[in-house]
Amino acid sequence: MRIPLPESILADALRAGDVTDISRATIRQTGDIARYMEREAETEFLHLEMGIPGLKPEQIGVQAEIAALKEGVASIYPNMFGIPALKTEASRFIKAFLDTQVAPIGCIPTVGSMQGTFTAFMLCAAFDPRRDTVLFIDPGFPVQRTQTNVLGIKSLSFDIYEYRGEALREKLESYLVQGNIAAIVYSNPNNPAWICLTEQELQTIGELATKYDAVVMEDLAYLGMDFRKALGRPFEPPYQATVSRYTDNYILFISASKIFSYAGQRIGIAAFSDALWSRSFPALKERFGMARVSDAYIMAILYGASSGTSHAAQYALAAMFKAAADGDLDFIGKAEEYARRARITKEMFLRHGFHIVYDKDMDEPVSDGFFYTAGFGSMTGGELMRELMLHGICAITLNTTGSQQQGIRVCVSQLNEPRQFDMLEERLAAFAGKHK
């Protein structure tokens, strides 16, 4: 069928998915709408909506997992704290690439960072009944907001777009001074904008987290992927920027999904600072019968959520962490393929009249990477998304990420064939021709 597609097909897809406002459709709803339209129009879509890794899984992990399965671990419940090898290698990996010392005991395997943040929200909101709210520094990963909604935990947010550098301190403190913030959440590099918080900004976050006793939940799903810097040398500067240099109130979330292209096995770690791991709270004792953070998280929350993390996948992650820290696995070098795809496609969007919404880190252009953001003239995000869907291009709106800006998030991971780049060029040209 010719592009643009008839609006009736999109209308049918929205009805089938029970979506009344396309601008607020979740990532998976958006993908379902596109697949419905693909099927009905018999037209291939370009899927820019979901961050599925577009590279092959690291074979070091695959082989380690196969070996573990052959040894019979599939029949054995894993230790809730994690296998010793993973805890040791996670601690070493963090030291190698973040120059942060986290004791192995506080490195806990989770069913991907999704389970890590879900369970950490429960934990942090239970520390003190006066601190019942999570603060998101947006834009951010939409599903984390869904997690707080599912849990019934209050949340607040602000768009960092106008609060970079020194402006961040006053804005952040205006929330923390109210005394109800349990945790501060952000991703770095950022999903969806790919902005990277500077050391100065992270110092601000860390100092205020200490002052107001809030926990910083730092999502490092794209660890090392600020490709403007040589971050891939273990135990050598420069290191991944992290709040862990500036506060003891932190939990780091490191996932195998993107950095090792190991998303299908759902494996990651939640790394607690040594100080936070050993703290006790009366409210935890009252609710869970365990005052210590370590006990409440492992024996109550994580145990209740899944009774542990895939035994074999823990061996895979341990092997990949070890190989990376040994210098035998250049995971950041491999991930630079995403920067290449972003660079090519950004040029296409710009050539056809789009603009990059979050285009700067202070005075420096953002890095090319897994995601970027695009807008078109005065179109709202919903208007732009609707028109792109009619042109066979699927993406999510920025408002679903907590952004106050108008536009879409572009994910380049699934653009892995030359013909798809040609198709994108043709469809953006058709879009631009319609909207001169």
Tally of structural domains, the chain: 2
Whether residues 421 and 387 share a domain: the answer is: yes
- From 297, 326, 355, the end of a domain falls on 326
> Residue 307 belongs to a domain with what CATH number?
3.40.640.10
Residues 6+ apart with CB under 8 A from 205: 137, 168, 172, 184, 186, 197, 216, 243, 246, 247
Evaluate whether residue 302 is within a structural domain: yes
**What is the structure's pLDDT at 408?**
97
Whether residues 300 and 378 share a domain: the answer is: no
From the first residue on, what is the mean pLDDT of each consecutive set of 10 residues in the chain (436 residues)?
91 94 93 95 94 95 98 96 98 98 98 97 98 97 95 98 96 98 98 96 98 98 96 96 98 98 98 98 98 98 95 98 98 97 97 97 94 97 97 96 96 94 97 92
Whether residues 147 and 40 share a domain: the answer is: no
Evaluate whether residue 228 is within a structural domain: yes
pLDDT tens sequence across 52-61: 999 999 999 9
Whether residues 217 and 112 share a domain: the answer is: yes
Evaluate whether residue 353 is within a structural domain: yes
**What is the structure's pLDDT at 436?**
78
Whether residues 339 and 264 share a domain: the answer is: no
Whether residues 112 and 162 share a domain: the answer is: yes
Whether residues 90 and 165 share a domain: the answer is: yes
- From 282, 302, 326, the end of a domain falls on 326
- Residue 49 in contact with residue 31, Cβ under 8 Å? yes
Whether residues 300 and 250 share a domain: the answer is: yes
Evaluate whether residue 256 is within a structural domain: yes
Whether residues 128 and 145 share a domain: the answer is: yes
From start to end of 225-333, where are the E strands? 250-255, 268-272
- What's the domain range around 211? 59-326
> Residue 404 belongs to a domain with what CATH number?
3.90.1150.100
**What is the structure's pLDDT at 416?**
87
For the chain, the C-alpha Rg in angstroms (whole number) is: 22
Distance CA 370, CA 339 (A): 7
Whether residues 213 and 362 share a domain: the answer is: no
Q: Within its chain, how far is the Cα of 321 from the centroid?
A: 19
Evaluate whether residue 2 is within a structural domain: no
pLDDT tens sequence across 159-179: 999 999 999 999 999 999 999
- Residue 266 in contact with residue 121, Cβ under 8 Å? no
**What is the structure's pLDDT at 13?**
96
Q: What number of other Cβ atoms are within 10 A of residue 207's Cβ?
A: 16
Distance CA 234, CA 223 (A): 13
Evaluate whether residue 360 is within a structural domain: yes
Whether residues 189 and 321 share a domain: the answer is: yes
Evaluate whether residue 1 is within a structural domain: no
Whether residues 320 and 374 share a domain: the answer is: no
- From 287, 307, 326, the end of a domain falls on 326
DSSP-derived pairing of the beta strands 268-272 and 133-138 = unpaired
Distance CA 212, CA 35 (A): 46
Evaluate whether residue 118 is within a structural domain: yes
**What is the structure's pLDDT at 374?**
98
Question: Inter-axis angle of helices 27-41 and 381-390, to 10 degrees?
Answer: 30
